[in-house]
Amino acid sequence: MGSFSIWHWLIVLVIVALIFGTKKIRNIGADLGGAVKGFKEGMKDMNAKEGEAANDTAPAARVTAGETIDVQAKEKAGSSDKGGTSH
């Protein structure tokens, strides 16, 4: 009883076709296909923009695995030790 056979799915398909009609199901399929196509085109555009942005960034922003970047931290001007403790 845990899995459905092909006959169960055929009966469900027939009931759905009777309720909604084949034209409405075809329209839903076309709308879904258009949405997937638009999503794929959007992802391609976004990846192309990210590729262009990666070429424009500073070398320090492009870090690969296993690479160490040596940096120096600077204190903000006007910041004070509000806690009253010093390290």
Residue pLDDT, tens place only, 39-84: 999 988 888 877 776 665 555 555 566 677 777 888 887 655 555 5
- In order, the DSSP letters of 4-67 are --HHHHHHHHHHHHHHH-HHHHHHHHHHHHHHHHHHHHHHHHHHHHHHHHHHHS-GGG---TT-
What span, in angstroms and rounded, lies between the C-alpha atoms of 49 and 71?
A: 28
What span, in angstroms and rounded, lies between the C-alpha atoms of 79 and 42?
A: 44
pLDDT for the residue numbered 63: 58
Kindly list the domain boundaries of the chain, sorted by start residue. 23-52
Number of residues written out for the chain: 87
